[in-house]
Amino acid sequence: MRRATEIDLPLNERPDGMPLQRWLYGELRAAILQGRLGPGARLPATRDLAARHGVSRGTVLGVFAQLAAEGYLSGAVGRGSFVASELPDGRFEAAPASAALPHTRRKAGTRAAAANANAANPGIALSARGRLLARSAFAIEGRSFPSRAFRPSQPDLQSFPFALWARVAARRSRLLNRSMLADGEAQGYRPLREVIAEHVRVTRGIACTADHIAIVGSVQQVIDLAARLWLDPGDAAWMEDPGYHGARLVLEAAGARIAAVPVDMYGIDVAEGRRLAPHARLAYVTAGRQAPLGPALSLERRLALLDWAHAQGALVIEDDYDSEYRFEGRPLAALKSLDKADHVIYCGTFSKLLFPALRIAYAVLPERLVDPFVSAWSLTARHVPLDQQATLHAFIAEGHAGRHVRRMRELYGERAEALREAARRHWTGLLALPPIVAGLDAPAFLPAGADDALAARLAAEAGIETRPLSSYAIERAAPAGLVLGFAGVGADEIDAGARTLARVLQRMLYRT
């Protein structure tokens, strides 16, 4: 190490009113820049400097820290502070806004270039679990607007009472109490939790209060957090096969070993689940309308599932993603309504009920799971924006949400009928459409053996959005088919889309 010089440092007098620290900082920095304190020079001990200039030692320490942060000093406690051998000389200044940027990220679509860059500089490697986490089930780029035939899982945004929502939001903003600027309850804005509890009590038969509700941004967050709270890596989780890939990917990313349980016309086959993975710690089910095939879980199986969960101490996640929209038969109560032993987390979302960009969902939690869930939510995410929650609360409490859903139920029922009509007209021998009793989308079946992924690709090239059933398959081959959204576009577009799709399939299946 370079030999340091102890020096006696003369400083200019402090101007009246200048804080001690600012004065000392300026004097020392000037001494360094003018070379009076040269590279490698040892600074006086903080204690001596403090005593000599009548300042506290804390002030001197603060100045030294600032100078070190800026690169003028280096050193370590106990060994003294030294002028840096190389002065920062501006390299620590903020770059001008107009500076040329070293990176300009590729646009989507040129991933090959990115892969090459990665090969040249391996940089930071994904963890094993990170490789499972860095797979999105969703459209990263956002959704084009307006929607097109037959984009799945889309409510009709053209029919959303947009001006009304804006009015409620604006009024909320004006009336907002300043206290709404402070951190809110992690569990969610209580008035919103209260109207949600009322809603699920009445429409879904779930006995609960606001204390059981947690407000989150998305159902994915509930699945992710629940899997981490109640599963250790390698624990088994039941998934419906075929089943909702968004849930499967997030469960896998959380370290769950997926037990793929077959689905038939009564929903998930509980007996088969018990055989395949009797000691699973979690089951994810779409009991109201199985995603993607559509059947509701039979009462017999609901009871069997709950019995199993109770006996095993397993958690059941009921994703009730579009149950509000039921066009035939009586509305079904939720699986959670039968949950006497309190093992079911029920999830609902306003992204499908109102609009996707809202990003508010909720969980109805078993009594004993509320505290751990809310603690974990608070640790990893804090809470959902408060004024967003307040606007949604007003929109529900004033009856607008209920009115909108009733209107949409009727509209989507008509569109389901339009899809049936179009199927009869255009799809004979190409696509079979089972009855549509509920939801925003429906599966339609291709002739056995057809390649539905190819069909979806060809349809996309013709401007028609679908999702192949094979993309929902886990271990078993799913029936060949396409999931078709019918709620987001009008009857005319449904008919035109059906015709286009028929043309595509005709060519693919029969090479004509």
Q: Print the binding letters for residues 144-163 with its own copies: x by CB under 8 A, - otherwise.
A: xxxx---------xx-x-x-
Decide: 148 and 465 in contact? Cβ < 8 Å. Answer: yes
What is d(CA 151, CA 464) in angstroms, rounded to the nearest whole number? 8
Nearer to its own copies, 125 or 511 (CB): 125
Stretch that binds its own copies, among 2-10, 431-439, 455-463, 466-474 (CB under 8 A): 431-439
Q: Which residues lie closer than 8 Å to 69 by C-beta, 6 or more apart? A: none
**What are the E-state strand segments in 250-292?**
257-264, 267-268, 282-285
Does 21 sit near its own copies (CB under 8 A)? yes
The bridge status of strand 467-468 relative to strand 481-485 is: antiparallel
Q: Least CB distance from residue 511 to its own copies, whole Å?
A: 27
Residues 64-93 that bind its own copies (CB under 8 A): 64-66, 68-71, 73-77, 84, 88, 91-93
Does 184 sit near its own copies (CB under 8 A)? yes
In angstroms, the Cα distances linking 382 to 194, 216, 230, 378, 403 are: 20, 10, 20, 4, 32
Q: Least CB distance from residue 216 to its own copies, whole Å?
A: 9
Answer for which of 150, 165, 284, 308 binds its own copies (CB under 8 A) is 165
Stretch that binds its own copies, among 4-12, 354-362, 393-401, 476-484 (CB under 8 A): 354-362
- Here the tokens at position 438 are 């509920």
Label each residue of 138-192 as H, E or C.
CCCCCCCCCCCCECCCCCCCCCCCHHHHHHHHHHHHHHCCHHHHCCCCCCCCHHH
Phi-psi group of 73: left, alpha or beta (phi > 0 → left; psi -120 to 50 → alpha; rest → beta): beta
Does 371 sit near its own copies (CB under 8 A)? yes
Q: Please give the span between the terminal C-alpha atoms of the chain, in angstroms, as a whole number.
A: 83
Does 311 sit near its own copies (CB under 8 A)? no
Does 104 sit near its own copies (CB under 8 A)? yes
Nearer to its own copies, 51 or 454 (CB): 51
Q: Least CB distance from residue 2 to its own copies, whole Å?
A: 14
Does 16 sit near its own copies (CB under 8 A)? no
Nearer to its own copies, 243 or 458 (CB): 243
Q: Which amino acid is at 162?
A: F
Nearer to its own copies, 222 or 505 (CB): 222
Answer for which of 80, 356, 402, 490 binds its own copies (CB under 8 A) is 356
DSSP run (H or E) holding 504: helix 491-510
Nearer to its own copies, 97 or 511 (CB): 97
Residues 385-404 that bind its own copies (CB under 8 A): 385-388
Decide: 88 and 71 in contact? Cβ < 8 Å. Answer: yes
Q: Least CB distance from residue 291 to its own copies, whole Å?
A: 14
Q: Least CB distance from residue 226 to its own copies, whole Å?
A: 9
Taking Cα atoms as reference points, which of 32, 99, 509 lies closest to residue 9? Answer: 32
Answer for which of 10, 17, 54, 102 binds its own copies (CB under 8 A) is 102
Does 181 sit near its own copies (CB under 8 A)? yes
Residues 111-140 that bind its own copies (CB under 8 A): 111, 114, 117-118, 121-130, 133-140
The bridge status of strand 73-76 relative to strand 80-83 is: antiparallel
What is d(CA 446, CA 449) in angstroms, rounded to the nearest whole number? 8
Does 51 sit near its own copies (CB under 8 A)? no
What is d(CA 64, CA 325) in angstroms, rounded to the nearest whole number? 66
Nearer to its own copies, 331 or 463 (CB): 331
What is d(CA 279, CA 302) in angstroms, rounded to the nearest whole number? 18
Taking Cα atoms as reference points, which of 289, 320, 296, 293 lies closest to residue 469? Answer: 293
Q: Least CB distance from residue 338 to its own copies, whole Å?
A: 8
Nearer to its own copies, 64 or 508 (CB): 64
Residues 189-248 that bind its own copies (CB under 8 A): 198, 201-209, 211-212, 217-218, 220-221, 224-225, 228-233, 235, 246
Stretch that binds its own copies, among 95-103, 454-462, 464-472, 492-500 (CB under 8 A): 95-103
Nearer to its own copies, 338 or 458 (CB): 338
CB atoms closer than 10 angstroms to residue 173: 12
The bridge status of strand 257-264 relative to strand 267-268 is: antiparallel
Does 110 sit near its own copies (CB under 8 A)? no
Residues 275-304 that bind its own copies (CB under 8 A): 281, 294-300
